[in-house]
Structure 1
Amino acid sequence: MQLDTPNLSYIHMLSDGDKAFEASMISILKRELPTEKEAFVQSILDKNYQNSAELVHKIKHKISILGLEKSYEFAASFEEALRKDDSSGYNMFMRILQNMEEFLTKI
């Protein structure tokens, strides 16, 4: 899967020009994503795929906020696969998380 490019279009639409709101949303993403990623990786290592699915569910909303439509679709299917104890999408999901982190560090 080709990774889509993160953007702030959705945040801009939600904010209706409120720069403080935009800054707050970006700050939340920057603060929460690394913690959620760490918890996800640990959950996968522990082979606790039900918990991993819950973490993917939380993270996929951040994926959506950053305008990553293809990545969101992948995350939704990966979440369902994890509920069936199938972690084969792990590497692709990690690429999506890396893509998001790199974008957030640049803004």
Structure 2
Amino acid sequence: MGPNLKKIEEISDGDDVFKKKMIDIIKQEFPKEKQDYYFYLEQNKYQESALIIHKLKHKINLLDLEEGFKLAQDFEVELKNNKLDLKDSFEELLATIEAYLTTLSL
């Protein structure tokens, strides 16, 4: 299943202002964190990349991507061990989230 707003709607409990703020924060922070992830990865700074993934996990969770969250957890551990086996799958997840966020207009 793809990204959705179910968790954000549950958390906001009908408060549209709060819901909009949460979505705005994700839309604002996600591109920068994605950019930082790629920057550190290109520099072979895997520990720093893992820290960025740790931040991204919270957004992945809020977008109700359970499998994506697990992938991010596993890739975070991999990076800490200087491995990149899940890199392509994680980057596909980032692209999916980015495409979804561009469709949101609240």
- TM-score range for the pair, normalised by the shorter chain length: over 0.9
Match of 2:45 in 1: 48
**Deviation string, structure 1 residues 22-64 (Cα, Å, up to 9, x no partner):** 1101100110000000000010000000001111111011000
Where in structure 1 are there 5+ consecutive unaligned residues? none
Q: Secondary structure at the match of 1:88?
A: coil
The residue identity in structure 2 corresponding to 1:56 is I
Where in structure 2 are there 5+ consecutive unaligned residues? none
Structure 1 residue 88: deviation in Å?
A: 2.4
Quote the sequence identity (%).
38
Q: With the length of structure 2 as denominator, give the TM-score of the two structures.
A: 0.95
Match of 1:27 in 2: 24
Work out whether 1:96 is the aligned partner of 2:86.
no
Higher RCO (C-alpha under 8 Å, 6+ residues apart): 1
The residue identity in structure 2 corresponding to 1:37 is K
RMSD after superposition: 0.7
Aligned with residue 55 of structure 2, among 52, 55, 58? 58
Q: With the length of structure 1 as denominator, give the TM-score of the two structures.
A: 0.94
Count of aligned residue pairs for this structure pair: 104
